[in-house]
Chain A
Amino acid sequence: MATRYFGAPVHRNEDARLLSGQALFVDDLELPGMLHAAFLRSNVAHARLRSIDVSAARARPGVVAVYTAEDLGDYWRPGPLLVPPPPIAGITFNQRSQVPLAKGKIRHVGEPLAVVLANSRYLAEDALADIEVELDPLPAVVDLEKALTQSSATIHDDVGSNIAARVRQTRGDYAAARSRADHVIARRFLYDHGASSPIETRGVVASWDGRANQLTVWDTTQAPVFLRNGLAGMLGLSERQVRVIAPFVGGGFGPKIMLFYPEEVVIPWVSIKLNRPVKWIEDRLEHFFATTQERGQTHDAEIALTADGRILGIKDVFLHDTGAYNPYGLTVPINSQCTLLGPYVIPSYDSTFTAVFTNKPIVTPYRGAGRQHGVFVIERLLDISAKELNIDRTEIRRRNLIPPDAFPYSNEIIYQDFTTLSYDSGNYEPILDKALELIGYKGFLAEEQPRLRAQGRHVGIGVACYVEGTGIGPYEGAKVQVQANGKVNVATGIGTQGQGHFTVFAQIAADQLGVGVSDVDVVTGDTDQFYWGAGTFASRGAVVAGNAVNEAARVVRQKILRLAADHFECAEEDLEIADGGVSIVGVPGKTIKLGELALKANPMRGAVRPGTEPGLESTQYFGPPGGATASGVHAVILAVDPQTFALEVLKYVVVHDCGAVINPLILAGQIHGGVAQGIGNAFYEQLVFDDDGQLLNASLADYLLPSALEVPRVEIAHTVTLSPLNPLGIKGAGEAGAIPVGPLFAQAIEDALGLADKKVELLEIPLSPNRLFELTTKSR
């Protein structure tokens, strides 16, 4: 191989279209005769629905149809359970999933009640005001603890309580560990995570072709294959009659993996019913209710330690807000439960969570997917333990890190992918060392901080560790095909939302096939281009689909060599693939281009050997035996203004181990973006619901996404521990940047303001200037 693209900071194949306004996003589709949909949504959180009168809306000029749940007939049914509970003994799980249009009962603000189809979106929205709704409001279930009391209203009458799930997982004997501990430290922690807020909201365009009996759906989904399969099933069609295309998608971060959103169910049905293309694009207000989010957990956690700061065990009991429905099963709270264990040896663990139905939008994974909540608990417990035991906070972490010779390391509990939570590989101490070196930990504490304090500045340092389970199964596939023009086509079933798949998969194929990265044309998210797949989630695209691309390209390479050896009548060993062709080593001029070979591989006449497959192509699948565990340490130095409690981040360091790095430029982008979302979560973003279940800040003017002024420059360093679970040795990196920022900020802010001296502990996220003011003045 002349060049190796794997590991190089290759510029992206997809950028030319994105930079010139030529990339197709769902809302860019304009189809002849297209109708525009607008949904009437509930403005109360909990109510019995008495009647909906749509007659005036139907009569409005420009309106073509208006439908309610009744009109859907047998098509109306609750959505499927996407992720069944893992096989954990003694589990309670009450599945209640969302419905296409509300019938009988309303369970959260924004739940759709009716859909208007009109000749423009403007007209469709006009007609929403014509619809008369009669309902009997019920008390809203908002607070997690109150939701579990006898006197609370119940959201799903047949469940009999608001318990969505209860799961206990244990390792070792926590009670015994506690009884022999020198210290037991217990606290209550609140961790709230917000809305993923991609800049592109969701959208669906469906087009039924009555002549071809074919439905095409363009959808901002992270899981086109499952959307295709589900729609076919619901609509009574074969999978082959449904084509789902996830074109360019403007950010996802988790909520776009959710299926089947009510609009995804209703819009294709309308298109078939009216035999016309139909478009629905979510507006930003709708996005705050109609797209899933993450939210809060309340943890009552305690840690048992020896006198020298070694962890003997942890007990944690937590409540998890799952919203009005739980179609995504237990993924988020299981991630919290598992990721709490972090990079540490925790010999005993007793963790129980209760997932609670509330009258709020549905909770499904958002970048980190519950991992943040668990990481906050363990990292804060260690900070508090360090103080109480008078050990340096980085030293207590170091003492408890899993040693490098302990891998694969089993935590003995069940993870979200149904396998035992096992870390494939890792070497944690060098990561911590590197982070401390880059942030200048010792020098800061010994010299810089005292100097700054003397100047009256409030500057603190923070260091937090984490692991991230990535690259989980079940599988992905890829088809690699050499085209007659010499270009290589790669198709895979996952969707892409900015991760650089068009480039990293091209790098992998280019290395195998001796072509340039820009000569590899990658297609993702079109079910007619690749039939099978699970989707883009859990930091798995590069790991699982990337290895499938590698495997398929490797087989194509073998086919190329075999065919070229026939052509040249030489041994395969004498050939080399480079620069888009195959040559005999050491024989100048003996070269054949890949495109020419591709033509030869599809002869028009004559006989072929038995068993010959046409073309230079291969489809291969990759399913890892378990997830690959990435790890890292973030460190920060930040200043807090003691008057306004505004933050200024002075230095931010990420040291990260995600195995072999395919493209360091793209990886850096993933980390920068993750940190930005982590900072939003730690200090700026919070979904604020009142007692009636009304979201009080449903706009981007009130729900504060970090801007270029709030996100600092991030310095990144890597260590590399290859994953033994896939041939490329890679681990996922999509979520890592976002995971440890909450505890990092809490620790650094405490340090900056000297809160230990004031006996103030920051036990909640998000913080904000207001909240810091409240927490620090309350105790004065």
Chain B
Amino acid sequence: MADDIHEITVTVNGTEYRRNVESRMLLSDFLRHDLLLAGTHVGCEHGVCGACTIIFDGAAVRSCLTLAVQADGHSVMTIEGLAHGPDDIHPLQQAVRECHGLQCGFCTPGILMTMKAFLDETPSLDEAQIRGALSGNLCRCTGYQHIVDAVRLAGERMRS
């Protein structure tokens, strides 16, 4: 396996990390168990549930379908980087709390990252459009309604 180790440099939440990883190491495992950023959750490891979604060079990406080596030279944002500080949380985080858009909270980091990318690039806050953007993230607790409400509320606040 020694030949299979690669040195990578990844910027995560603004911090540059240099690490040696096996080529088969998933980006989700690298973030969680190597960088100890365990807020990114893993629900299915086959790219369906969306719990592991991170923002990779500005786009929402499934970290369980990405290898750590693919992140070499790239910039990643995880849930740990979404708030600017405990007293300066992202409007999405605030709205999800106010609208009760989470229950067990396991899918929540992935949903927040997906929705952040959505709100950053989408001008409209049409419910159908929000649901479409959310449809790649599975939540087994909420039935989605309060999440949709929260995304709309956050979007309105971010715009005003």
- CB-contact partner of A707 in B39, B45, B86, B135, under 8 A: B135
Give chain A nearest CB distance to B50 CB in angstroms. Answer: 9
**A15-29, CB < 8 A from B:** 15-16, 18-23, 25, 27-28
Complex contact A500–B103 (CB within 8 A): yes
Q: With A21-B79, A197-B140, A665-B100 known to touch, is A27 a contact of B89 (CB < 8 Å)?
A: no
The answer to the question of B72 belonging to the interface, with a C-beta cut-off of 8 Å to chain A, is no
From A69-77, A478-486, A669-677, the one touching the partner chain is A669-677
The answer to the question of B117 belonging to the interface, with a C-beta cut-off of 8 Å to chain A, is no
Complex contact A198–B104 (CB within 8 A): yes
How far is it, in angstroms, between the C-alpha of A665 and the C-alpha of B146 when the chains are bound? 9
Give chain A nearest CB distance to B103 CB in angstroms. Answer: 3
The answer to the question of A381 belonging to the interface, with a C-beta cut-off of 8 Å to chain B, is no
Complex contact A284–B46 (CB within 8 A): yes
Complex contact A711–B143 (CB within 8 A): yes
Give chain A nearest CB distance to B100 CB in angstroms. Answer: 5
How far is it, in angstroms, between the C-alpha of A621 and the C-alpha of B145 when the chains are bound? 36
Task: Name which of A20, A23, A708 has the most chain B CB atoms within 10 A of its CB.
Answer: A708
**CB neighbours of B32 from chain A (8 A):** 27-28
Q: With A198-B106, A699-B46 known to touch, is A20 a contact of B143 (CB < 8 Å)?
A: no
How far is it, in angstroms, between the C-alpha of A758 and the C-alpha of B39 when the chains are bound? 54
Complex contact B46–A199 (CB within 8 A): no
Closest to A737 in B: B143
**CB neighbours of B108 from chain A (8 A):** 18-19
The answer to the question of A8 belonging to the interface, with a C-beta cut-off of 8 Å to chain B, is no
Complex contact B78–A705 (CB within 8 A): no
Complex contact B38–A672 (CB within 8 A): no
The answer to the question of A434 belonging to the interface, with a C-beta cut-off of 8 Å to chain B, is no
The answer to the question of B96 belonging to the interface, with a C-beta cut-off of 8 Å to chain A, is yes
**A201-227, CB < 8 A from B:** 201
Contact code string A702-717 (vs B, CB < 8 Å = 1, else 0): 0001011101011000
Complex contact A30–B33 (CB within 8 A): yes
- CB-contact partner of B143 in A198, A673, A709, under 8 A: A673
How far is it, in angstroms, between the C-alpha of A674 and the C-alpha of B48 when the chains are bound? 21
- CB-contact partner of B39 in A20, A284, A709, under 8 A: A20
Contact code string B35-74 (vs A, CB < 8 Å = 1, else 0): 0111111111110110100000000000000000000000
**CB neighbours of B100 from chain A (8 A):** 11-12, 665-666, 668-669
**CB neighbours of A283 from chain B (8 A):** 45
Chain B: how many interface residues by the 8 Å CB criterion? 58
**CB neighbours of B38 from chain A (8 A):** 21, 25, 27-28, 30
Complex contact A669–B142 (CB within 8 A): yes
Complex contact A284–B141 (CB within 8 A): no
- CB-contact partner of A20 in B93, B137, B146, under 8 A: B93
Chain A: how many interface residues by the 8 Å CB criterion? 56
The answer to the question of B155 belonging to the interface, with a C-beta cut-off of 8 Å to chain A, is no
Complex contact A21–B78 (CB within 8 A): yes
The answer to the question of A80 belonging to the interface, with a C-beta cut-off of 8 Å to chain B, is no
Closest to B43 in A: A199
Give chain A nearest CB distance to B76 CB in angstroms. Answer: 13
Give chain B nearest CB distance to A552 CB in angstroms. Answer: 25
Complex contact A19–B146 (CB within 8 A): no
- CB-contact partner of B102 in A18, A252, A671, A675, under 8 A: A18
Task: Name which of B24, B44, B131, B143 has the most chain A CB atoms within 10 A of its CB.
Answer: B143
**CB neighbours of B80 from chain A (8 A):** 20-21
Q: Which secondary structure dominates chain B's binding surface?
A: loop
Contact code string B133-157 (vs A, CB < 8 Å = 1, else 0): 0111111111111111000000000
**CB neighbours of B37 from chain A (8 A):** 21
Complex contact B103–A25 (CB within 8 A): no
Give chain A nearest CB distance to B138 CB in angstroms. Answer: 5
Complex contact B104–A668 (CB within 8 A): no
- CB-contact partner of A498 in B43, B79, B96, B103, under 8 A: B103
From A243-251, A538-546, A601-609, the one touching the partner chain is A243-251
Contact code string A667-703 (vs B, CB < 8 Å = 1, else 0): 0110111111100000000000000000000011100
- CB-contact partner of A250 in B22, B45, B104, B142, under 8 A: B104
Complex contact A198–B48 (CB within 8 A): no
How far is it, in angstroms, between the C-alpha of A248 and the C-alpha of B102 when the chains are bound? 13
Task: Name which of B48, B137, B146 has the most chain A CB atoms within 10 A of its CB.
Answer: B48
Closest to A10 in B: B100
Complex contact A199–B145 (CB within 8 A): no
The answer to the question of A761 belonging to the interface, with a C-beta cut-off of 8 Å to chain B, is no
**CB neighbours of B143 from chain A (8 A):** 669, 671-676, 711, 714, 737
**CB neighbours of B39 from chain A (8 A):** 20-22
How far is it, in angstroms, between the C-alpha of A36 and the C-alpha of B15 when the chains are bound? 29
Complex contact B145–A713 (CB within 8 A): yes
Complex contact A498–B105 (CB within 8 A): yes
How far is it, in angstroms, between the C-alpha of A668 and the C-alpha of B145 when the chains are bound? 10
The answer to the question of B5 belonging to the interface, with a C-beta cut-off of 8 Å to chain A, is no
The answer to the question of A527 belonging to the interface, with a C-beta cut-off of 8 Å to chain B, is no
Contact code string A482-513 (vs B, CB < 8 Å = 1, else 0): 00000000000000011110000000000000
**CB neighbours of A197 from chain B (8 A):** 140
How far is it, in angstroms, between the C-alpha of A700 and the C-alpha of B98 when the chains are bound? 30
- CB-contact partner of A23 in B44, B103, B105, B112, under 8 A: B105
The answer to the question of B18 belonging to the interface, with a C-beta cut-off of 8 Å to chain A, is no
Give chain A nearest CB distance to B129 CB in angstroms. Answer: 11
Q: With A20-B93, A199-B106, A699-B48 known to touch, is A673 a contact of B131 (CB < 8 Å)?
A: no
Task: Name which of B33, B105, B109 has the most chain A CB atoms within 10 A of its CB.
Answer: B105
Q: List 25 A-B contacts (CB under 8 A).
A: A14-B105, A20-B39, A20-B86, A28-B32, A28-B38, A122-B25, A196-B140, A198-B140, A199-B104, A199-B140, A200-B43, A248-B105, A248-B106, A250-B41, A250-B43, A250-B106, A251-B104, A251-B141, A252-B104, A284-B46, A669-B141, A672-B144, A672-B146, A674-B143, A708-B134
Given A248-B106, A500-B103, A701-B46, 18 other A-B residues pairs in contact with their CB atoms under 8 A: A11-B100, A16-B97, A19-B93, A20-B83, A21-B39, A25-B41, A25-B106, A28-B38, A198-B104, A198-B140, A199-B107, A251-B104, A669-B143, A671-B143, A672-B142, A673-B143, A674-B143, A675-B143
Closest 4 CB pairs of A and B: A21-B39, A250-B106, A498-B104, A18-B105
Interface residues in chain A, defined as those with a beta carbon under 8 Å from any beta carbon in chain B: 11-12, 14-16, 18-23, 25, 27-28, 30, 122, 196-201, 248-253, 283-284, 497-500, 665-666, 668-669, 671-677, 699-701, 705, 707-709, 711, 713-714, 737
